[in-house]
Amino acid sequence: MNLPAVTDLLDIYIAEINQFSILTSDEEFKLAVQFKKHKDLKAAEKLVTANLRFVVKIAYEYKNYGIKLVDLIQEGNIGLMHAVKKFDPYKGYRLISYAVWWIRAYIQNFIIRSWSIVKIGTTQAQRKLFFKLNQVKNRLQALSRENPDFQEVAELLNVKESEIEDMDQRLSNRDVSLDVSISNEGETTYLDHLVYDGESQEDSLIRQEEKSLVRRDIAGALAKLSERENYIVKNRIMSDKPETLQQIGDRFKITRERARQIEQEALKKLRTALPYFGPEEGPRPVQ
């Protein structure tokens, strides 16, 4: 079965939303009041559907940013729904006059999020510059200025020349998928040229498996020790900040020498249970 192309789906969508009648000012006011007072979802739905065609018109203004038009329309629709939720019909203006701000805001936010994994346009000034820069450059080029300089653009936008240069560089270097083919043959991708200096997956798996086995064996060995032996191994042999023999003696109310003897007995048991646990394993105990 042949699936319809994106353009066909868009044409179908536009044809469908054009079937909804545009509301008169009185009709819109009554529906907006009905929703505001009584949370009538059917009234809200009529307000949304009657203005969907305006979302498409606004989305077309952003079609040159390399993002699918259907995605821009979807984001604009979310902005429209948010506007309907916030709309106050008693202020005297039409819904679309209020909603256009929300529609643009949602579309612009989506474009900025989609443009790069590196954050751009984090401030209001940067966001404005992101969308105004190309518009001004295109306007100057239309006046037979093929390559307008940053200073001229900065003066028109009333910003610093360095800000123009920085944003122009960001706009010119958009993220590239590692799966994109470098050549027309399509056999080589950017991912093939990445160099990884770390260990291979096989070595990493072996190392993780070894660690898992060691942890399991150590846990089994510790279970065979007495309470005092277990404490000494954990808090003196295996700890990053080992306790002294005196601290251990004070804890168990024994002499420092007796604590040392218990430590030796615990190490002997560990070496029997763990052949790889040599005398040099672990941090050097604090005397």
- The alpha carbon of residue 116 and the mean position of all alpha carbons in its chain are separated, in whole angstroms, by 10
Between 270 and 36, name the one with better pLDDT: 36
| Same structural domain, 97 and 148 | no
Q: Which of 33, 17, 123 is nearest to 87 (CA)?
A: 33
Given pLDDT bands bounded at 50, 70 and 90, which one contains residue 54? very high
* Segment 64-71 mean pLDDT: 87
Q: What is the pLDDT of residue 51?
A: 97
Note the pLDDT tens digit of each residue in 13-25. 999 999 999 999 9
pLDDT at 34: 96
Alpha-carbon distance of 248 to 239, in angstroms, equals 13
pLDDT of residue 31: 97
Average pLDDT over residues 53-68: 90
Global confidence as pTM: 0.50
Mean pLDDT of 66-82: 93
Task: Identify the H or E element spanning 38.
Answer: helix 25-38
Quick check: 70 and 9 in contact, CB under 8 A? yes
Q: What's the distance, CA 36 to chain centroid?
A: 35
- How many domains does the chain divide into? 3
CATH number, domain with residue 259: 1.10.10.10
Is 111 a domain residue?
yes
From 94, 115, 136, the end of a domain falls on 115
Q: CB–CB of 107/45 below 8 Å? A: no
* CA dihedral over 171, 177, 183, 185, signed as positive or negative: negative
Confidence tier at 37 by pLDDT (50, 70, 90): very high
The verdict on residue 12 lying in a domain is yes
Supply the range of the domain harboring residue 226.
201-273
- What the block records as the tokens of 26 is 């009185």
| Residue-wise pLDDT tens digits, 234-260 | 888 777 788 898 998 898 999 989 988
> 48 or 184: whose pLDDT is higher?
48
124 and 55 in one domain? no
Which structure tokens are listed for 177?
A: 């998928």
Cβ-based neighbours of 54, under 8 Å, separated by 6 or more: 80, 96, 99, 100, 103
Reported as a pLDDT band with limits 50, 70 and 90, residue 72 is very high
Q: Is residue 195 part of a domain?
A: no
pLDDT tier at 287 (50, 70, 90 boundaries)? very low
| Residue 187 located in a structural domain | no
